[in-house]
Structure 1
Amino acid sequence: MKQDYTIPRGALDGVEAFVRVAERRSFRQAAADLDITPSAISQAVRALEARVGVALFTRTTRSVGLTEAGQRFLEQARPAFDAIVSATAAARELGAKPSGLLRLTVPRSVVQIILQPVLASFSARYPDVVVEVVASEELADLARDGFDAGIRMGEFIDPDMVALRLTPPLRLAMLASPDYLARCGHPATPADLANHSCVRIRRSNGTVAPWRVLEADGPHDLAVTGSMIVNDMPTMLSAALGGAGLAQLPAPLAAEQLASGQLVEVLADYAASSPGLFIYFPSRAQVMPKLRAFIDHMKAYAQEALLN
Protein backbone atom coordinates (compact mmCIF):
# COMPACT_ATOMS: atom_id res chain seq x y z
CA MET A 1 0.00 0.00 0.00
CA LYS A 2 1.37 3.38 -1.00
CA GLN A 3 2.15 5.57 2.00
CA ASP A 4 1.43 9.29 2.12
CA TYR A 5 4.62 11.22 2.88
CA THR A 6 3.08 14.67 2.31
CA ILE A 7 4.04 17.14 5.04
CA PRO A 8 0.87 18.63 6.56
CA ARG A 9 0.36 22.26 5.66
CA GLY A 10 2.18 24.51 8.13
CA ALA A 11 3.80 21.59 10.01
CA LEU A 12 7.14 23.41 10.20
CA ASP A 13 5.68 26.83 11.05
CA GLY A 14 6.78 28.06 14.45
CA VAL A 15 9.53 25.47 14.96
CA GLU A 16 12.32 28.04 14.81
CA ALA A 17 10.45 30.27 17.23
CA PHE A 18 9.94 27.31 19.60
CA VAL A 19 13.64 26.34 19.47
CA ARG A 20 14.77 29.91 20.13
CA VAL A 21 12.45 30.32 23.10
CA ALA A 22 13.50 26.92 24.48
CA GLU A 23 17.16 27.94 24.23
CA ARG A 24 16.72 31.39 25.70
CA ARG A 25 13.93 30.53 28.15
CA SER A 26 12.61 33.94 27.19
CA PHE A 27 10.13 35.10 24.55
CA ARG A 28 11.61 38.59 24.57
CA GLN A 29 15.20 37.46 24.03
CA ALA A 30 14.15 34.94 21.38
CA ALA A 31 12.26 37.71 19.57
CA ALA A 32 15.37 39.89 19.61
CA ASP A 33 17.43 37.02 18.13
CA LEU A 34 14.96 36.63 15.27
CA ASP A 35 14.41 40.40 14.86
CA ILE A 36 10.64 40.16 15.35
CA THR A 37 8.30 41.43 18.07
CA PRO A 38 7.63 39.42 21.26
CA SER A 39 3.99 39.37 20.24
CA ALA A 40 4.82 37.75 16.90
CA ILE A 41 6.97 35.03 18.46
CA SER A 42 4.32 34.36 21.10
CA GLN A 43 1.67 33.94 18.39
CA ALA A 44 3.93 31.56 16.44
CA VAL A 45 4.46 29.38 19.51
CA ARG A 46 0.76 29.38 20.39
CA ALA A 47 -0.09 28.32 16.83
CA LEU A 48 2.46 25.48 17.06
CA GLU A 49 1.01 24.34 20.39
CA ALA A 50 -2.47 24.39 18.87
CA ARG A 51 -1.35 22.14 16.02
CA VAL A 52 0.54 19.78 18.32
CA GLY A 53 -2.41 19.72 20.71
CA VAL A 54 -0.46 20.20 23.94
CA ALA A 55 1.28 22.99 25.84
CA LEU A 56 5.01 23.10 25.15
CA PHE A 57 5.96 25.83 27.63
CA THR A 58 5.10 26.68 31.21
CA ARG A 59 4.85 30.46 31.46
CA THR A 60 4.85 32.79 34.46
CA THR A 61 5.40 36.53 34.69
CA ARG A 62 9.02 35.88 35.67
CA SER A 63 10.12 32.77 33.75
CA VAL A 64 9.54 30.35 30.90
CA GLY A 65 10.08 26.60 31.19
CA LEU A 66 9.48 23.53 29.06
CA THR A 67 6.68 21.11 29.81
CA GLU A 68 7.43 17.39 29.54
CA ALA A 69 5.84 17.47 26.09
CA GLY A 70 7.93 20.52 25.22
CA GLN A 71 11.14 18.80 26.34
CA ARG A 72 10.33 15.75 24.25
CA PHE A 73 9.46 17.93 21.25
CA LEU A 74 12.76 19.82 21.63
CA GLU A 75 14.82 16.61 21.84
CA GLN A 76 13.44 15.38 18.53
CA ALA A 77 12.86 18.67 16.71
CA ARG A 78 16.24 20.26 17.47
CA PRO A 79 18.40 17.81 15.45
CA ALA A 80 15.99 18.09 12.50
CA PHE A 81 15.98 21.89 12.78
CA ASP A 82 19.80 21.97 12.90
CA ALA A 83 19.90 19.73 9.81
CA ILE A 84 17.61 22.13 7.94
CA VAL A 85 19.77 25.09 8.95
CA SER A 86 22.88 23.21 7.80
CA ALA A 87 21.26 22.23 4.51
CA THR A 88 20.23 25.82 3.91
CA ALA A 89 23.76 27.05 4.57
CA ALA A 90 25.21 24.42 2.25
CA ALA A 91 22.80 25.34 -0.54
CA ARG A 92 23.46 29.03 0.00
CA GLU A 93 27.22 28.43 -0.24
CA LEU A 94 26.78 26.83 -3.66
CA GLY A 95 24.92 29.93 -4.76
CA ALA A 96 27.51 32.30 -3.30
CA LYS A 97 30.78 31.07 -4.83
CA PRO A 98 32.07 28.49 -7.32
CA SER A 99 31.97 25.19 -5.44
CA GLY A 100 30.46 21.72 -5.54
CA LEU A 101 30.19 19.11 -8.30
CA LEU A 102 30.03 20.34 -11.91
CA ARG A 103 28.80 17.56 -14.24
CA LEU A 104 29.33 17.99 -17.99
CA THR A 105 28.29 15.82 -20.94
CA VAL A 106 30.53 16.15 -23.99
CA PRO A 107 31.44 14.19 -27.13
CA ARG A 108 34.80 12.42 -26.90
CA SER A 109 36.31 14.67 -29.55
CA VAL A 110 35.52 17.78 -27.49
CA VAL A 111 37.66 16.50 -24.63
CA GLN A 112 40.70 16.71 -26.90
CA ILE A 113 39.75 19.88 -28.77
CA ILE A 114 38.78 22.15 -25.93
CA LEU A 115 38.55 20.47 -22.52
CA GLN A 116 41.88 18.74 -22.09
CA PRO A 117 43.97 21.93 -22.34
CA VAL A 118 41.80 23.89 -19.88
CA LEU A 119 40.70 21.50 -17.12
CA ALA A 120 43.94 21.75 -15.16
CA SER A 121 43.94 25.55 -15.14
CA PHE A 122 40.26 25.66 -14.17
CA SER A 123 40.82 23.24 -11.27
CA ALA A 124 43.81 25.26 -10.09
CA ARG A 125 41.78 28.47 -10.12
CA TYR A 126 38.62 26.96 -8.57
CA PRO A 127 39.77 24.23 -6.17
CA ASP A 128 36.33 23.99 -4.54
CA VAL A 129 34.75 22.80 -7.80
CA VAL A 130 34.91 19.11 -8.70
CA VAL A 131 34.51 18.65 -12.49
CA GLU A 132 32.99 15.40 -13.70
CA VAL A 133 33.24 14.91 -17.47
CA VAL A 134 31.04 12.23 -19.05
CA ALA A 135 32.37 11.69 -22.58
CA SER A 136 29.72 10.17 -24.83
CA GLU A 137 28.19 10.70 -28.23
CA GLU A 138 24.72 10.24 -26.75
CA LEU A 139 22.65 13.40 -26.38
CA ALA A 140 21.85 13.39 -22.67
CA ASP A 141 18.77 14.90 -21.07
CA LEU A 142 20.51 17.42 -18.81
CA ALA A 143 17.79 17.66 -16.16
CA ARG A 144 16.90 13.97 -16.09
CA ASP A 145 20.51 12.75 -16.08
CA GLY A 146 21.81 15.28 -13.55
CA PHE A 147 24.11 17.36 -15.75
CA ASP A 148 24.80 21.05 -15.20
CA ALA A 149 25.63 21.63 -18.87
CA GLY A 150 26.76 20.04 -22.10
CA ILE A 151 29.14 20.95 -24.90
CA ARG A 152 28.20 20.12 -28.49
CA MET A 153 28.41 21.31 -32.07
CA GLY A 154 25.74 23.94 -32.54
CA GLU A 155 23.67 21.92 -34.99
CA PHE A 156 22.99 19.22 -32.37
CA ILE A 157 21.63 21.46 -29.59
CA ASP A 158 17.88 21.56 -28.95
CA PRO A 159 16.30 24.99 -29.56
CA ASP A 160 14.89 25.20 -26.02
CA MET A 161 18.42 25.26 -24.54
CA VAL A 162 20.44 28.36 -23.73
CA ALA A 163 23.55 28.01 -25.92
CA LEU A 164 26.69 30.14 -25.56
CA ARG A 165 29.37 30.06 -28.23
CA LEU A 166 32.78 28.74 -27.20
CA THR A 167 34.51 28.75 -30.59
CA PRO A 168 34.15 30.32 -34.02
CA PRO A 169 32.76 28.06 -36.76
CA LEU A 170 35.07 25.08 -37.22
CA ARG A 171 36.47 24.25 -40.64
CA LEU A 172 35.65 20.67 -41.70
CA ALA A 173 38.81 19.29 -43.25
CA MET A 174 38.78 16.27 -45.58
CA LEU A 175 41.94 14.32 -45.07
CA ALA A 176 43.71 11.00 -45.51
CA SER A 177 47.02 9.34 -44.81
CA PRO A 178 49.82 9.62 -47.39
CA ASP A 179 49.69 5.83 -47.73
CA TYR A 180 46.01 5.87 -48.66
CA LEU A 181 46.49 8.67 -51.18
CA ALA A 182 49.47 6.83 -52.75
CA ARG A 183 47.25 3.78 -53.23
CA CYS A 184 44.00 5.46 -54.26
CA GLY A 185 44.94 8.88 -55.60
CA HIS A 186 43.84 12.40 -54.71
CA PRO A 187 40.23 13.43 -55.37
CA ALA A 188 40.06 16.59 -57.48
CA THR A 189 36.39 17.45 -56.95
CA PRO A 190 33.67 16.36 -54.49
CA ALA A 191 32.26 14.12 -57.24
CA ASP A 192 35.47 12.08 -57.05
CA LEU A 193 34.57 11.04 -53.50
CA ALA A 194 32.25 8.44 -55.05
CA ASN A 195 35.39 6.52 -56.06
CA HIS A 196 36.96 6.62 -52.59
CA SER A 197 36.44 4.84 -49.31
CA CYS A 198 35.10 7.45 -46.90
CA VAL A 199 34.99 6.81 -43.17
CA ARG A 200 31.52 7.76 -41.97
CA ILE A 201 30.03 8.48 -38.54
CA ARG A 202 26.75 7.22 -37.15
CA ARG A 203 24.87 9.79 -35.12
CA SER A 204 23.26 9.02 -31.77
CA ASN A 205 19.85 8.93 -33.46
CA GLY A 206 21.00 6.02 -35.65
CA THR A 207 21.46 7.87 -38.94
CA VAL A 208 24.77 7.96 -40.83
CA ALA A 209 25.90 11.55 -41.24
CA PRO A 210 26.56 12.88 -44.76
CA TRP A 211 29.65 14.90 -45.52
CA ARG A 212 29.28 18.63 -46.00
CA VAL A 213 31.10 20.25 -48.93
CA LEU A 214 31.23 23.85 -50.07
CA GLU A 215 30.25 24.36 -53.71
CA ALA A 216 30.01 27.61 -55.67
CA ASP A 217 26.38 28.07 -54.62
CA GLY A 218 26.96 27.24 -50.97
CA PRO A 219 27.29 24.21 -48.68
CA HIS A 220 25.78 20.88 -49.69
CA ASP A 221 25.33 17.58 -47.86
CA LEU A 222 26.91 14.75 -49.82
CA ALA A 223 26.18 11.05 -49.32
CA VAL A 224 29.47 9.15 -49.36
CA THR A 225 30.29 5.47 -49.09
CA GLY A 226 33.07 3.45 -47.57
CA SER A 227 34.03 0.31 -45.73
CA MET A 228 33.98 1.77 -42.21
CA ILE A 229 31.36 3.44 -40.00
CA VAL A 230 32.30 4.74 -36.54
CA ASN A 231 30.40 6.46 -33.75
CA ASP A 232 32.85 9.17 -32.71
CA MET A 233 35.42 11.48 -34.24
CA PRO A 234 38.51 10.21 -32.39
CA THR A 235 37.84 6.76 -33.89
CA MET A 236 37.40 8.36 -37.32
CA LEU A 237 40.74 10.11 -36.86
CA SER A 238 42.40 6.81 -35.95
CA ALA A 239 40.87 5.15 -39.01
CA ALA A 240 42.25 7.86 -41.29
CA LEU A 241 45.70 7.57 -39.69
CA GLY A 242 45.58 3.84 -40.31
CA GLY A 243 44.88 4.32 -44.00
CA ALA A 244 41.28 3.07 -43.93
CA GLY A 245 40.09 5.92 -46.13
CA LEU A 246 39.24 9.60 -46.30
CA ALA A 247 37.78 11.28 -43.21
CA GLN A 248 36.04 14.60 -42.62
CA LEU A 249 36.84 16.16 -39.26
CA PRO A 250 36.92 19.57 -37.57
CA ALA A 251 40.39 20.87 -38.43
CA PRO A 252 41.47 21.48 -34.78
CA LEU A 253 40.97 17.78 -34.02
CA ALA A 254 43.57 16.81 -36.65
CA ALA A 255 45.85 19.86 -36.41
CA GLU A 256 48.79 17.94 -34.95
CA GLN A 257 48.58 15.13 -37.52
CA LEU A 258 48.27 17.59 -40.40
CA ALA A 259 51.26 19.58 -39.17
CA SER A 260 53.40 16.45 -38.84
CA GLY A 261 52.43 15.10 -42.25
CA GLN A 262 50.72 12.00 -40.85
CA LEU A 263 47.59 13.25 -42.61
CA VAL A 264 47.14 15.28 -45.78
CA GLU A 265 44.21 17.56 -46.51
CA VAL A 266 42.38 17.08 -49.81
CA LEU A 267 39.72 19.19 -51.52
CA ALA A 268 40.71 22.18 -49.36
CA ASP A 269 38.81 24.59 -51.63
CA TYR A 270 35.62 22.66 -50.92
CA ALA A 271 35.93 22.59 -47.13
CA ALA A 272 32.71 23.65 -45.40
CA SER A 273 32.33 24.67 -41.75
CA SER A 274 30.29 23.52 -38.78
CA PRO A 275 28.59 26.14 -36.57
CA GLY A 276 31.28 25.59 -33.93
CA LEU A 277 31.20 24.46 -30.31
CA PHE A 278 28.67 25.74 -27.79
CA ILE A 279 28.10 25.13 -24.11
CA TYR A 280 24.39 24.72 -23.38
CA PHE A 281 22.14 24.47 -20.34
CA PRO A 282 18.41 24.70 -19.58
CA SER A 283 17.97 28.23 -18.18
CA ARG A 284 19.98 31.35 -17.41
CA ALA A 285 18.13 31.55 -14.08
CA GLN A 286 19.60 28.18 -13.08
CA VAL A 287 23.25 29.08 -13.71
CA MET A 288 25.12 28.45 -10.46
CA PRO A 289 28.44 30.20 -9.75
CA LYS A 290 30.36 26.97 -10.52
CA LEU A 291 28.90 26.87 -14.05
CA ARG A 292 29.30 30.61 -14.61
CA ALA A 293 32.97 30.36 -13.61
CA PHE A 294 33.48 27.43 -15.98
CA ILE A 295 31.78 29.22 -18.89
CA ASP A 296 33.90 32.34 -18.40
CA HIS A 297 37.08 30.26 -18.11
CA MET A 298 36.26 28.26 -21.23
CA LYS A 299 35.37 31.29 -23.30
CA ALA A 300 38.57 33.07 -22.33
CA TYR A 301 40.64 30.04 -23.35
CA ALA A 302 38.76 29.46 -26.60
CA GLN A 303 39.06 33.09 -27.71
CA GLU A 304 42.76 33.27 -26.87
CA ALA A 305 44.19 29.92 -27.89
CA LEU A 306 41.94 27.45 -29.69
CA LEU A 307 42.39 28.53 -33.29
CA ASN A 308 45.68 30.41 -33.07
Structure 2
Amino acid sequence: MEDMEIIAKAAKIINAGGLVSFPTETVYGLGANAFSQEACLKIYEAKGRPSNNPLIVHVTGLEQAEELAIFNKDAYLLNKLWPGPLTMVLPKKNNSKLAACVTAGLDTVAIRVPAHKVAKDLILQSGVPIAAPSANKSGYLSATSHEHVKDSFKNDEIFIIESESKTLYGLESTIIDLSTSVPTILRFGFVTKQVIEQIISKEVAIATKSSAIKAPGMMHLHYAPTTPIRINAKSLEEGEVGLNFGNSQLDNKGSLNLSHEGNLIDAAANLFSYLHILDNYAKKNSIKKIAVAPIPNESIGLAINDRLTRAVNI
Protein backbone atom coordinates (compact mmCIF):
# COMPACT_ATOMS: atom_id res chain seq x y z
CA MET A 1 0.00 0.00 0.00
CA GLU A 2 1.37 3.43 -0.97
CA ASP A 3 2.11 5.97 1.75
CA MET A 4 -0.83 8.24 0.88
CA GLU A 5 -3.16 5.23 0.73
CA ILE A 6 -2.08 4.33 4.25
CA ILE A 7 -2.65 7.92 5.40
CA ALA A 8 -6.08 7.95 3.74
CA LYS A 9 -7.04 4.70 5.47
CA ALA A 10 -5.79 6.04 8.81
CA ALA A 11 -7.75 9.28 8.33
CA LYS A 12 -10.94 7.29 7.73
CA ILE A 13 -10.33 5.41 10.97
CA ILE A 14 -9.84 8.72 12.84
CA ASN A 15 -13.10 10.06 11.38
CA ALA A 16 -14.91 6.84 12.28
CA GLY A 17 -13.90 7.21 15.93
CA GLY A 18 -11.02 4.74 15.91
CA LEU A 19 -7.45 4.88 17.19
CA VAL A 20 -4.37 5.38 15.01
CA SER A 21 -0.74 5.20 16.10
CA PHE A 22 1.53 7.39 14.01
CA PRO A 23 5.15 8.56 14.01
CA THR A 24 6.11 12.09 14.95
CA GLU A 25 9.55 13.66 15.21
CA THR A 26 9.44 13.14 18.99
CA VAL A 27 7.87 9.75 19.78
CA TYR A 28 5.03 7.64 18.36
CA GLY A 29 1.58 9.01 19.16
CA LEU A 30 -1.73 7.25 19.84
CA GLY A 31 -4.30 9.45 18.17
CA ALA A 32 -8.05 10.02 18.02
CA ASN A 33 -10.42 12.74 16.81
CA ALA A 34 -10.00 15.50 19.40
CA PHE A 35 -13.65 16.52 18.92
CA SER A 36 -15.01 13.07 19.82
CA GLN A 37 -15.43 12.23 23.50
CA GLU A 38 -16.12 8.58 22.68
CA ALA A 39 -12.98 8.28 20.53
CA CYS A 40 -10.69 10.04 23.00
CA LEU A 41 -11.94 7.92 25.89
CA LYS A 42 -10.62 4.94 23.92
CA ILE A 43 -7.12 6.42 24.30
CA TYR A 44 -7.48 6.48 28.08
CA GLU A 45 -8.85 2.93 28.09
CA ALA A 46 -6.14 1.51 25.80
CA LYS A 47 -3.31 3.16 27.75
CA GLY A 48 -4.77 2.65 31.22
CA ARG A 49 -4.30 6.40 31.55
CA PRO A 50 -5.54 8.33 34.61
CA SER A 51 -8.50 10.56 33.71
CA ASN A 52 -6.83 13.62 35.27
CA ASN A 53 -3.96 13.48 32.76
CA PRO A 54 -4.80 15.70 29.74
CA LEU A 55 -3.89 14.95 26.13
CA ILE A 56 -1.87 16.99 23.63
CA VAL A 57 -3.86 18.19 20.64
CA HIS A 58 -1.95 18.04 17.35
CA VAL A 59 -2.87 20.59 14.68
CA THR A 60 -1.65 21.66 11.24
CA GLY A 61 -0.59 25.17 12.20
CA LEU A 62 -1.39 28.46 13.89
CA GLU A 63 -4.74 28.96 12.16
CA GLN A 64 -6.14 25.66 13.43
CA ALA A 65 -4.59 26.23 16.86
CA GLU A 66 -6.32 29.62 17.16
CA GLU A 67 -9.68 27.86 16.74
CA LEU A 68 -9.01 25.94 19.94
CA ALA A 69 -7.04 28.26 22.22
CA ILE A 70 -6.52 31.90 23.15
CA PHE A 71 -3.07 33.07 22.10
CA ASN A 72 -1.13 35.77 23.92
CA LYS A 73 2.01 37.66 22.90
CA ASP A 74 4.37 34.95 24.17
CA ALA A 75 2.47 32.26 22.28
CA TYR A 76 2.64 34.22 19.03
CA LEU A 77 6.39 34.71 19.52
CA LEU A 78 6.94 31.00 20.19
CA ASN A 79 4.94 30.11 17.10
CA LYS A 80 8.25 30.51 15.23
CA LEU A 81 9.26 27.15 16.76
CA TRP A 82 6.31 25.42 15.08
CA PRO A 83 6.24 22.93 13.52
CA GLY A 84 8.51 21.25 16.02
CA PRO A 85 8.95 19.64 19.46
CA LEU A 86 7.20 22.35 21.50
CA THR A 87 3.78 22.08 23.15
CA MET A 88 2.03 25.21 24.43
CA VAL A 89 -0.55 25.12 27.22
CA LEU A 90 -3.03 27.94 26.60
CA PRO A 91 -6.49 29.01 27.78
CA LYS A 92 -9.10 26.94 25.96
CA LYS A 93 -11.67 28.73 23.82
CA ASN A 94 -15.21 28.15 25.08
CA ASN A 95 -16.43 27.29 21.58
CA SER A 96 -13.51 25.00 20.73
CA LYS A 97 -15.63 21.80 20.39
CA LEU A 98 -12.85 19.82 22.06
CA ALA A 99 -13.94 16.66 23.86
CA ALA A 100 -14.04 17.23 27.62
CA CYS A 101 -11.66 14.35 28.37
CA VAL A 102 -8.97 15.87 26.12
CA THR A 103 -8.38 18.67 28.62
CA ALA A 104 -9.21 16.52 31.68
CA GLY A 105 -11.80 19.09 32.73
CA LEU A 106 -9.29 21.96 32.77
CA ASP A 107 -9.84 25.38 31.21
CA THR A 108 -6.53 25.03 29.34
CA VAL A 109 -5.47 22.97 26.34
CA ALA A 110 -2.05 21.62 25.32
CA ILE A 111 -1.37 22.17 21.60
CA ARG A 112 1.46 21.19 19.27
CA VAL A 113 2.19 21.41 15.54
CA PRO A 114 4.23 18.31 14.61
CA ALA A 115 6.99 18.52 12.00
CA HIS A 116 6.86 14.88 10.87
CA LYS A 117 5.35 14.55 7.38
CA VAL A 118 3.21 11.54 8.29
CA ALA A 119 1.73 13.32 11.30
CA LYS A 120 1.04 16.48 9.28
CA ASP A 121 -0.55 14.54 6.42
CA LEU A 122 -2.73 12.54 8.81
CA ILE A 123 -4.13 15.69 10.44
CA LEU A 124 -4.74 17.28 7.04
CA GLN A 125 -6.44 14.18 5.62
CA SER A 126 -8.56 13.73 8.74
CA GLY A 127 -9.70 17.35 8.71
CA VAL A 128 -9.81 17.44 12.52
CA PRO A 129 -7.31 18.09 15.31
CA ILE A 130 -5.86 14.84 16.63
CA ALA A 131 -5.49 14.26 20.37
CA ALA A 132 -2.48 12.03 20.93
CA PRO A 133 -0.34 11.08 23.92
CA SER A 134 2.65 8.79 23.46
CA ALA A 135 1.76 5.32 22.15
CA ASN A 136 2.56 3.21 25.19
CA LYS A 137 0.82 1.84 28.24
CA SER A 138 0.53 4.53 30.91
CA GLY A 139 3.70 4.90 32.96
CA TYR A 140 5.74 2.67 30.65
CA LEU A 141 8.53 3.57 28.21
CA SER A 142 7.53 5.77 25.29
CA ALA A 143 7.52 4.23 21.82
CA THR A 144 10.11 5.36 19.28
CA SER A 145 9.31 2.70 16.67
CA HIS A 146 6.21 0.91 15.42
CA GLU A 147 7.58 -2.32 16.95
CA HIS A 148 7.37 -0.70 20.39
CA VAL A 149 3.72 0.18 19.71
CA LYS A 150 2.91 -3.37 18.61
CA ASP A 151 4.51 -4.77 21.76
CA SER A 152 2.50 -2.44 24.01
CA PHE A 153 -0.89 -2.90 22.35
CA LYS A 154 -0.98 -6.55 21.26
CA ASN A 155 -4.65 -6.97 22.16
CA ASP A 156 -5.97 -3.52 21.25
CA GLU A 157 -7.74 -2.44 18.08
CA ILE A 158 -5.27 0.17 16.85
CA PHE A 159 -4.22 0.97 13.29
CA ILE A 160 -0.45 1.47 13.30
CA ILE A 161 1.28 3.53 10.63
CA GLU A 162 4.66 1.89 10.28
CA SER A 163 7.88 3.80 9.66
CA GLU A 164 11.19 2.28 8.55
CA SER A 165 13.17 4.52 10.90
CA LYS A 166 12.84 5.35 14.58
CA THR A 167 11.71 8.82 15.61
CA LEU A 168 14.17 11.70 15.13
CA TYR A 169 14.40 13.18 18.63
CA GLY A 170 13.38 10.16 20.68
CA LEU A 171 12.00 12.30 23.53
CA GLU A 172 8.60 13.93 23.98
CA SER A 173 8.12 17.63 23.28
CA THR A 174 8.99 20.44 25.66
CA ILE A 175 5.78 21.71 27.30
CA ILE A 176 5.49 25.39 28.24
CA ASP A 177 2.51 26.71 30.20
CA LEU A 178 1.56 30.13 28.86
CA SER A 179 -1.79 30.33 30.64
CA THR A 180 -0.38 32.03 33.75
CA SER A 181 1.44 35.31 34.37
CA VAL A 182 4.82 33.54 34.54
CA PRO A 183 5.58 31.15 31.64
CA THR A 184 6.44 27.78 33.17
CA ILE A 185 8.11 24.72 31.73
CA LEU A 186 6.00 21.69 32.63
CA ARG A 187 8.17 19.15 30.81
CA PHE A 188 11.74 19.35 29.52
CA GLY A 189 12.46 18.49 25.90
CA PHE A 190 14.59 19.52 22.94
CA VAL A 191 13.44 23.15 23.09
CA THR A 192 15.42 24.41 26.07
CA LYS A 193 14.60 27.02 28.71
CA GLN A 194 17.31 29.27 27.27
CA VAL A 195 15.82 29.16 23.77
CA ILE A 196 12.35 30.02 25.05
CA GLU A 197 13.65 32.89 27.21
CA GLN A 198 15.59 34.31 24.29
CA ILE A 199 12.49 34.34 22.07
CA ILE A 200 10.01 35.83 24.57
CA SER A 201 12.58 38.07 26.31
CA LYS A 202 11.55 37.09 29.83
CA GLU A 203 12.48 34.61 32.52
CA VAL A 204 10.77 31.24 32.50
CA ALA A 205 9.92 29.20 35.61
CA ILE A 206 10.15 25.43 36.00
CA ALA A 207 7.28 23.40 37.45
CA THR A 208 7.88 21.56 40.71
CA LYS A 209 6.75 18.05 41.64
CA SER A 210 3.92 19.56 43.67
CA SER A 211 2.59 21.47 40.64
CA ALA A 212 -0.92 20.61 39.48
CA ILE A 213 -1.09 18.28 36.46
CA LYS A 214 -1.84 20.50 33.45
CA ALA A 215 -0.13 18.47 30.75
CA PRO A 216 1.29 15.01 29.99
CA GLY A 217 4.57 13.86 31.53
CA MET A 218 3.94 15.34 34.98
CA MET A 219 2.99 12.12 36.78
CA HIS A 220 5.57 11.17 39.42
CA LEU A 221 6.08 7.64 38.05
CA HIS A 222 6.46 7.76 34.30
CA TYR A 223 8.61 6.56 31.39
CA ALA A 224 9.55 3.38 33.28
CA PRO A 225 10.67 -0.01 31.97
CA THR A 226 9.30 -3.08 33.75
CA THR A 227 12.84 -3.76 34.99
CA PRO A 228 13.81 -1.37 37.82
CA ILE A 229 16.52 1.14 36.96
CA ARG A 230 19.29 2.73 39.03
CA ILE A 231 20.50 6.13 37.87
CA ASN A 232 23.84 7.90 38.27
CA ALA A 233 25.54 4.52 38.54
CA LYS A 234 29.35 4.61 38.51
CA SER A 235 29.85 0.87 38.76
CA LEU A 236 27.79 -2.26 38.23
CA GLU A 237 26.29 -4.26 41.06
CA GLU A 238 25.46 -7.95 40.91
CA GLY A 239 22.47 -8.72 38.70
CA GLU A 240 22.62 -5.47 36.73
CA VAL A 241 23.09 -4.60 33.06
CA GLY A 242 24.65 -1.27 32.13
CA LEU A 243 23.46 1.69 30.07
CA ASN A 244 26.52 3.85 29.48
CA PHE A 245 27.14 7.40 28.34
CA GLY A 246 30.44 8.63 26.93
CA ASN A 247 33.42 6.92 28.54
CA SER A 248 31.53 5.39 31.47
CA GLN A 249 32.37 1.73 32.01
CA LEU A 250 29.25 -0.10 33.11
CA ASP A 251 30.33 -2.88 30.77
CA ASN A 252 29.09 -6.43 30.83
CA LYS A 253 27.23 -8.76 28.49
CA GLY A 254 24.22 -6.92 27.08
CA SER A 255 25.36 -3.41 28.03
CA LEU A 256 24.77 -0.48 25.67
CA ASN A 257 26.09 3.07 25.29
CA LEU A 258 23.73 5.99 24.63
CA SER A 259 26.58 7.86 22.92
CA HIS A 260 30.21 6.77 22.88
CA GLU A 261 31.13 10.36 21.96
CA GLY A 262 29.18 11.84 24.87
CA ASN A 263 26.71 13.55 22.53
CA LEU A 264 23.52 14.47 24.41
CA ILE A 265 21.42 14.74 21.24
CA ASP A 266 22.36 11.20 20.24
CA ALA A 267 21.80 10.03 23.81
CA ALA A 268 18.28 11.48 23.85
CA ALA A 269 17.46 9.87 20.51
CA ASN A 270 18.63 6.49 21.81
CA LEU A 271 17.26 6.64 25.37
CA PHE A 272 13.87 4.94 25.07
CA SER A 273 15.00 2.64 22.27
CA TYR A 274 17.92 1.33 24.34
CA LEU A 275 15.81 1.03 27.50
CA HIS A 276 13.35 -1.10 25.50
CA ILE A 277 16.24 -3.33 24.38
CA LEU A 278 17.68 -3.64 27.88
CA ASP A 279 14.25 -4.26 29.41
CA ASN A 280 13.69 -7.18 27.05
CA TYR A 281 17.23 -8.45 27.66
CA ALA A 282 16.70 -8.29 31.42
CA LYS A 283 13.49 -10.32 31.23
CA LYS A 284 15.18 -13.07 29.22
CA ASN A 285 18.37 -13.21 31.29
CA SER A 286 17.16 -12.87 34.89
CA ILE A 287 18.66 -9.39 35.20
CA LYS A 288 17.36 -7.57 38.29
CA LYS A 289 18.14 -3.97 37.40
CA ILE A 290 19.31 -1.58 34.66
CA ALA A 291 22.17 0.64 35.85
CA VAL A 292 22.34 3.99 34.03
CA ALA A 293 25.52 6.07 33.99
CA PRO A 294 25.41 9.76 35.04
CA ILE A 295 24.10 12.12 32.36
CA PRO A 296 25.26 15.78 32.39
CA ASN A 297 22.39 17.87 33.75
CA GLU A 298 22.58 20.55 31.08
CA SER A 299 20.88 21.36 27.77
CA ILE A 300 19.16 18.19 26.47
CA GLY A 301 20.59 16.35 29.46
CA LEU A 302 17.91 18.04 31.59
CA ALA A 303 15.24 16.28 29.53
CA ILE A 304 17.04 12.93 29.68
CA ASN A 305 17.45 13.17 33.46
CA ASP A 306 13.82 14.21 33.86
CA ARG A 307 12.72 10.99 32.13
CA LEU A 308 15.15 8.86 34.13
CA THR A 309 14.20 10.46 37.45
CA ARG A 310 10.50 9.88 36.82
CA ALA A 311 11.22 6.30 35.77
CA VAL A 312 12.52 5.59 39.28
CA ASN A 313 9.94 7.90 40.91
CA ILE A 314 12.45 10.10 42.76
Fold shared per TM-score above 0.5: no
User: Which structure has greater helix proportion?
Assistant: 1
Structure 2 length-normalised TM = 0.22
User: Which structure has greater strand proportion?
Assistant: 1
